[in-house]
Amino acid sequence: MKIVLVSAVALIDKDGRVLLAQRPKGKSMAGLWEFPGGKVEPAETPEQALIRELQEELDIDTWASCLAPLTFASHSYDDFHLLMPLFACRKWEGTPKSQEGQQLAWVRPNALKDYPMPAADVPLVSILRDWL
């Protein structure tokens, strides 16, 4: 089974809310909410992938020193196995804005469970909530 490495981030604002992005129509798992991020390209570190993805998807800039490893997901889907490190980030430049048609929501930690998510993301919610 193919292993896909995806890097994700819990962006945490000054009020302790976490940013979620809704997968847009036309993408697999459309309508589900997820932590921002994306596939790690060849020769990229997970941190480099996040910095690139946050710039592309949300028009914000951050730095590797601001990405704290928090936990990871390891989940088998029908046609691939996902390995996804989740980082926490409290410092970035700019205001997150949808650049790819995705809906964005700032969510209180206790409300994260109310947003339908891909199966790989679900176990991360309780870890993040307890950490915050």
Sign of CA dihedral 124, 31, 19, 85: positive
Q: Which residues contact 65 (CB under 8 A, 6 or more apart)?
A: none
The reported pLDDT for the residue numbered 100 is: 87
Q: Is the pLDDT of residue 101 over 90?
A: no
| Percent of residues, the chain, with pLDDT higher than 70 | 100
- Name the residue with tokens 């309780």: 126
Mean pLDDT across 77-85:
95
The reported pLDDT for the residue numbered 113 is: 94
Whether pTM exceeds 0.75:
yes
pLDDT digits (tens, 9 = 90+) for 8-66: 999 999 999 999 999 988 888 889 999 999 999 999 999 999 999 999 999 999 999 99
The yes/no answer on whether domain 3-131 falls in CATH 3.90.1150.200 is: no
The reported pLDDT for the residue numbered 49 is: 97
φ, ψ of residue 76 to 5 degrees: the values are -90, 120
7: its two tokens:
């890097």
